[in-house]
Chain A
Amino acid sequence: MTQESDLSCQGLVRRFGAHTAVDHVSLDVPAGAFFSILGPSGCGKTTLLRLLAGFDRPDEGEIRIRGQRMNEVPPNRRPVNMVFQHLALFPTMTVGDNIAYGLKRQKVPAAERRRRVAEVLEQVGLPGLADRNPQELSGGQRQRVALARCLVLRPTLLLLDEPLGALDLKLREQMKVELKHLQKAFGTTFVYITHDQSEAMVMSDQVAVMRAGRFEQVASPEQLYREPATPFVAGFVGDNNRLSGELVGLDAGLADVRLPDGTRVRGRLAGEAPAKGAPVALFVRPEALVLAGEALRPDYATVRTEVRTTLFDGANSRVEVRHGDQTLYARLPQDGSAPRLTEGSTLYLAWDPALARVFALGEP
């Protein structure tokens, strides 16, 4: 099934002096999708969003929204609205006037305006708050007003610039789920930028991982997690353990890796096979590590480690161990089967080689 794409960018470049903030980025967002751009701060994601909103112009490349070229269109004429990081609600207007601002610009008659403001407030779960001032609302309520202010205009594309950053943890978890529901209810295409991988994973249909102005990988959250395409993605998305070593052999897609202390471990090779003896990094997730001694299978890879400390965090409890000079974390089962671990004791960790990823190092 081919979907009409709401936003498509070809080879976008934006330079600031010698620094290239956005470096040949191309993307395609299908209609009705929740698309996230995930990256550490300074990776160029905010610049990219400002190019899409029209506050900045690309030096190269083309932006098309529903097939229309947008490069020269000023922000007030683009079918795009933005939820700002600090929301930017107009403090001199009531909630109702904030939401009606865009409708007034579209010359919607007053009666119709009032009806649509009431309707959208209902949809975001804030009925009857039109006469309040934004300052009187809680953080979560302001968030919803900012969304309503954009959604009432029925934009083709809604851009969101880390809007959950200012909320406390509990509210953020709640808003994540709510945003996803709202996006489904309105059917608007969302482009969401964040540095918080959990936000991107929970809400998105597609996530682009961005680093130094480029997209490292564009995939569904599950694919990003299970099959990261680069060492950066493997390290950035979700918790991961990294072991450095060198490649000694290849057997049916499984790489044989020698760690600095001579231990031989195995994992699935990602990408092109490098030459033997090349430096590689093996990534294995904390939940893939099993404490040896439990029903260990012969084809599992095993490393001998020394316990440093245990970190209790409910279902997310982990043990921190050292293998040589590399630190690893393993998920501790919370069904009472975990052995008592004392600092300095020896612990064998094992994993299914199919769940570990091996990347050749030294490539860009």
Chain B
Amino acid sequence: MNRQVSRLSLWLLLAPFLLWILLLVLVPHLQMLRVSFQVRESWDTLEWGLSQYRNFFTESYYWRTFVRTGVMSLFTTFLTLLVAFPVAWYIAKLARGRSKGFLFLACLIPFWASELVRTYGWMILLRESGVFSAALQALGWADGPVEMLYNDIAVIVGLVYNGLLFMVVPLVTTLEGMDDTLVEAGYDLGGGHLTVLREVVVPWAMPGIVSGCIVVFMLTLGSYLTPILMGGKDSAWFTQQIFTQFITRFNWEQGAALGVLLLVLSSLMVWLGLRLTGQSLRKVMG
């Protein structure tokens, strides 16, 4: 009797989690997978087939965008790491007491606004009639208005900015756990700044680096607003094509195939990243 009650309460406790996994993760993805293998013969007949996937490989626009998105996401992740590491080091090791909390908050504040607002913020700064352009003209460094939006650099700037917090947080957490005397020992035994960073600090921070990189890479790969708004009409991002298939062209089958490919790509990159750095997912996310 008692055993049955405790079993029931266990199931009740698990129910929200199981429902979430089932309804919001498993069912939609399986459905996507199913749709991606269906070929529309006419308006009411569907056949199983690979034509959507064939389209992806034969239509160079698709896979070029796909590769471009992957490469730019990798580059953005790397850049985010470079920017976030000194910030995280300062917060974890140099800032004390109140200033530490304040700096952490300062990293968080931009995320109180939505991605859309943050991106428009960048557009106000970078556009032809924007703040930077006006400043350059006022200083006499430019003759006319300068357009800084609608290129790949602008897209990467926006993406790095969006990813920064998700890199800083895991880095601060791992770096805070590091004993300062490890760094001192690194110097004491004859190491210079670069050696200590490479041999002592980075290996220690590896779980934080990898987990930050995974999160930022996934976010970047799947971001939609920033590349569209800041990249302009020439900038192709893979999520944009999925959107086009689903919404503009109403071609759910092709959209589903592209979605599955994106999922495979991101999973593959994460697996590769973990493999190359010798980390395990449990250690990184634990």
Interface residues in chain A, defined as those with a beta carbon under 8 Å from any beta carbon in chain B: 53-55, 74-77, 80-82, 84-86, 88-93, 101-102, 105-106, 149-150, 153
Q: Once bound together, how far apart are the Cα atoms of A80 and B189, in whole Å?
A: 8
Q: Once bound together, how far apart are the Cα atoms of A45 and B179, in whole Å?
A: 21
Q: Which of B179, B190, B203 contacts A153 (CB 8 A)?
A: B190
Give the most central of B187, B188, B190, B200: most A CB within 10 Å: B188
Name which residue of chain A comes closest to B203, CB basis: A92
Residues of B within 8 A of A150 (CB): 189
State whether B190 touches A76 (Cβ < 8 A). yes
Q: Once bound together, how far apart are the Cα atoms of A51 and B128, in whole Å?
A: 56
Q: Which of A74, A81, A88 contacts B179 (CB 8 A)?
A: A88
With an 8 A cutoff between CB atoms, is B145 at the interface? Answer: no
| Listed A/B pairs (20) with beta-carbon separation below 8 Å | A55-B187, A55-B188, A74-B187, A75-B188, A76-B188, A76-B189, A80-B188, A81-B188, A82-B185, A84-B181, A88-B181, A90-B182, A90-B185, A91-B182, A92-B200, A92-B204, A92-B206, A93-B199, A101-B199, A105-B191
Name which residue of chain B comes closest to A107, CB basis: B190
Q: Which of B182, B187, B188, B190 contacts A106 (CB 8 A)?
A: B190
Q: Once bound together, how far apart are the Cα atoms of A102 and B190, in whole Å?
A: 6
Residues of B within 8 A of A153 (CB): 189-190
State whether A76 touches B179 (Cβ < 8 A). no
With an 8 A cutoff between CB atoms, is B286 at the interface? Answer: no
State whether B204 touches A86 (Cβ < 8 A). no
With an 8 A cutoff between CB atoms, is B184 at the interface? Answer: yes
Residues of A within 8 A of B199 (CB): 90, 93, 101
Contact-residue bracket for chain B: 10 to 19
With an 8 A cutoff between CB atoms, is B99 at the interface? Answer: no
State whether B188 touches A82 (Cβ < 8 A). yes
Closest 6 pairs between A and B when the two form their complex, measured CB to CB: A105-B190, A92-B203, A102-B189, A88-B185, A88-B181, A84-B181
Q: Once bound together, how far apart are the Cα atoms of A89 and B184, in whole Å?
A: 11
Q: Once bound together, how far apart are the Cα atoms of A36 and B87, in whole Å?
A: 41
With an 8 A cutoff between CB atoms, is B277 at the interface? Answer: no
Q: Once bound together, how far apart are the Cα atoms of A82 and B206, in whole Å?
A: 26
Apart from A75-B184, A105-B189, 19 more pairs, CB < 8 Å: A55-B187, A55-B188, A74-B187, A76-B189, A81-B188, A81-B189, A82-B185, A84-B181, A84-B184, A84-B185, A88-B185, A90-B185, A90-B203, A92-B206, A93-B203, A105-B190, A105-B195, A150-B189, A153-B190
With an 8 A cutoff between CB atoms, is B140 at the interface? Answer: no
Chain B nearest CB, measured from A261 CB (Å): 53
State whether A101 touches B203 (Cβ < 8 A). no
Main secondary structure of the interface of B (DSSP, over half): helix
Q: What does the 1/0 interface line of B20-61 toward A look like (CB < 8 Å)?
A: 000000000000000000000000000000000000000000
With an 8 A cutoff between CB atoms, is B16 at the interface? Answer: no
Residues of A within 8 A of B200 (CB): 90, 92
Q: Once bound together, how far apart are the Cα atoms of A128 and B114, in whole Å?
A: 58
Residues of B within 8 A of A90 (CB): 182, 185-186, 199-200, 203
With an 8 A cutoff between CB atoms, is B192 at the interface? Answer: yes
Residues of A within 8 A of B206 (CB): 92
Chain B nearest CB, measured from A241 CB (Å): 40
Chain A nearest CB, measured from B122 CB (Å): 38
Residues of B within 8 A of A89 (CB): 185
State whether A91 touches B188 (Cβ < 8 A). no
Q: Once bound together, how far apart are the Cα atoms of A91 and B199, in whole Å?
A: 11
Name which residue of chain A comes closest to B183, CB basis: A88
Q: Once bound together, how far apart are the Cα atoms of A91 and B177, in whole Å?
A: 12
A75-B187 contact, Cβ under 8 Å, with A91-B204, A101-B199: yes
State whether A88 touches B190 (Cβ < 8 A). no
Chain B nearest CB, measured from A167 CB (Å): 17
Name which residue of chain A comes closest to B184, CB basis: A55
State whether B204 touches A101 (Cβ < 8 A). no
Chain B nearest CB, measured from A88 CB (Å): 4
Chain A nearest CB, measured from B182 CB (Å): 5
State whether B190 touches A86 (Cβ < 8 A). no
Q: Once bound together, how far apart are the Cα atoms of A54 and B189, in whole Å?
A: 12
Residues of B within 8 A of A76 (CB): 187-192
Chain A nearest CB, measured from B259 CB (Å): 39
Chain B nearest CB, measured from A110 CB (Å): 16
Q: Once bound together, how far apart are the Cα atoms of A54 and B181, in whole Å?
A: 13
Name which residue of chain A comes closest to B189, CB basis: A102
Q: Once bound together, how far apart are the Cα atoms of A93 and B187, in whole Å?
A: 16
Residues of A within 8 A of B179 (CB): 86, 88
Of residues 113 to 128 in B, which have CB atoms within 8 Å of A's CB atoms?
none
Residues of A within 8 A of B188 (CB): 53-55, 75-76, 80-82
Residues of A within 8 A of B184 (CB): 53, 55, 75, 82, 84, 88
Residues of B within 8 A of A85 (CB): 181
Q: Once bound together, how far apart are the Cα atoms of A316 and B203, in whole Å?
A: 50
Q: Once bound together, how far apart are the Cα atoms of A74 and B203, in whole Å?
A: 24
A86-B189 contact, Cβ under 8 Å, with A91-B204, A92-B203, A92-B204: no
